């Protein structure tokens, strides 16, 4: 049974305009700046939206949620302000990079990148199998075991991203994630019953619920 459906992505930024322009170009999306300096990346459907919001706190630790992207050339990304952190080597078929604010992402080189340049949404986990199976139950899909102890969800309804991947890491979550995803739900109660924690309810400032999954990853739920 499907409890929630994917809605869009959100990014925190110290400088939304700089980060928004970078990701718009890297992903082939369109950047729309708002009067307050924040903005929105848009693509061919509403589900391609990525909101870029200004936050006061700087990035202090490795991103626990990151993006995997397709690219033709690392030099193109570097020209936009990215930096190589770990070169592609051996069996690792990707390059670990940092965006202009230091946020990690992985670049997969292709001579002719797919139109959908966003390849995967990746979540660091203490228990990737449990996390993957929890989100699989939320989205109504199957969790597949992959190599090296990580798990993947594919075919998530409405998600314009090939996969959502859950990978093992030794470190625990310590700060609010700088990338999170939004979902739509008929009601929030089934999420809470499944194990999500409601962090904030709609109020005078927001019209949605802020929740955390079983490992504390923040996400927002909009009621239909």
Judged against a pLDDT cut of 90, whether residue 80 lies above it is answered with: yes
Q: How confident is the model at residue 115 (pLDDT cuts 50, 70, 90)?
A: confident
Cα→Cα distances 187→9, 45, 86, Å = 20, 24, 42
Average pLDDT over residues 11-33: 97
What is the percent of the chain with per-residue pLDDT over 90, rounded to a whole number? 92
183 or 115, greater pLDDT: 183
Q: pTM here?
A: 0.96
Residue 113: per-residue pLDDT = 78
Average pLDDT over residues 95-104: 98
Sheet holding 143-145, edge to edge: 83-86, 95-98, 104-109, 65-71, 118-125, 163-168, 151-154, 143-145
Q: HEC profile for 88-128?
A: CECCECCEEEECCCCCEEEEEECCCCCCCCEEEEEEEECCH
Average predicted confidence (pLDDT) for the chain:
96
Instruction: Name the superfamily (CATH) of residues 5-223.
Output: 2,3-Dihydroxybiphenyl 1,2-Dioxygenase, domain 1 (3.10.180.10)
pLDDT in tens, 121-157: 999 999 999 999 999 999 999 999 998 899 999 999 9
Judged against a pLDDT cut of 90, whether residue 1 lies above it is answered with: no
Judged against a pLDDT cut of 90, whether residue 172 lies above it is answered with: yes
Q: How confident is the model at residue 36 (pLDDT cuts 50, 70, 90)?
A: confident
Residue 90: per-residue pLDDT = 84
Judged against a pLDDT cut of 90, whether residue 223 lies above it is answered with: yes
Sign of CA dihedral 133, 161, 187, 202: positive
Judged against a pLDDT cut of 90, whether residue 218 lies above it is answered with: yes
Judged against a pLDDT cut of 90, whether residue 91 lies above it is answered with: no
Average pLDDT over residues 97-125: 94
Residue 112: per-residue pLDDT = 85
Judged against a pLDDT cut of 90, whether residue 179 lies above it is answered with: yes
Q: How confident is the model at residue 92 (pLDDT cuts 50, 70, 90)?
A: confident
């Amino acid at each position: 049974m499907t409890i929630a459906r994917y809605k869009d992505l959100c990014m925190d930024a110290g400088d939304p305009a700089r980060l928004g322009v970078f990701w718009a170009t890297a992903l082939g999306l369109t950047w729309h700046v708002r009067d307050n300096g924040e903005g929105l990346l848009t693509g061919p459907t509403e589900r391609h939206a990525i909101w870029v919001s200004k936050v006061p706190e700087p990035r202090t630790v490795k991103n626990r949620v990151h993006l995997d992207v397709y690219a033709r050339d690392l030099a193109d990304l570097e020209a936009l302000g990215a930096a190589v952190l770990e070169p592609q080597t051996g069996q690792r078929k990707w390059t670990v990079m940092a965006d202009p604010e230091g946020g990690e992402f992985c670049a997969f080189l292709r001579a002719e990148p797919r139109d959908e340049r966003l390849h995967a949404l990746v979540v660091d986990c203490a228990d990737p199998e449990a996390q993957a199976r929890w989100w699989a139950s939320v989205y109504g899909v199957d969790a597949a075991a992959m190599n090296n102890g990580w798990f993947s969800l594919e075919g998530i309804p409405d998600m314009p991203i090939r996969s959502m991947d859950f990978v093992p890491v030794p470190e625990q979550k310590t700060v609010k994630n700088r990338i999170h995803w939004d979902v739509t739900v008929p009601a929030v109660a089934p999420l809470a019953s499944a194990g999500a924690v409601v962090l904030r309810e709609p109020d005078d400032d927001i019209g949605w619920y802020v929740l955390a999954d079983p490992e504390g990853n923040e996400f927002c739920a909009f009621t239909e």
